[in-house]
Amino acid sequence: MGTKKEIHDVVMIGAGPAALSAAIYTTREDIDTVLFEKGVIGGLAAVTAWVDNYPGFIKGVAGLELSDSLQKQAERFGADIRLGEVTKIEIDGKLKKLTTSEGDIYAKAVLIATGSDYRKLGIPGEETFYGKGVHYCATCDGAFYREKKLVVVGGGNSAVQESIFLTKFATHIDLLVRGDSMRASEILQHELAKHKDKITVHMNTVTNEIVGENGKVVKVLAKNVKTGKIISYKTDGVFVFIGLIPNTQFLKDSKIELDNIGMIKTKSNMETSMDGVFAAGDVRSGATMQIASATGEGATAALMIRKYMDPHASTGY
Sign of CA dihedral 121, 123, 128, 132: negative
Distance, C-alpha 264 to centroid of its chain: 13
Instruction: Report helix, strand or coil for 132.
Output: coil
The Cα–Cα gap between 240 and 176 comes to 10
The Cα–Cα gap between 154 and 178 comes to 7
Beta strands 244-246; 237-240: pairing state = unpaired
Position 162, amino acid: E
The Cα–Cα gap between 286 and 192 comes to 24
Distance, C-alpha 80 to centroid of its chain: 23
Q: What is the DSSP string of 285-312?
A: TT----HHHHHHHHHHHHHHHHHHH-TT
Core vs surface per residue 132-168: b (16+ CB within 10 A) or e: ebbbbbbebbbebbeeebbbbbbbbbbbbbbbbebbe
Q: Are 310 and 276 in contact (CB under 8 A)?
A: no
Q: Are 167 and 198 in contact (CB under 8 A)?
A: yes
Q: What is the largest CA-CA distance in the chain?
A: 76
CA 103 to each of CA 90, 112, 214: distance values in angstroms, whole numbers, following the listed order: 14, 18, 47
List active site positions.
Answer: 137, 140-141
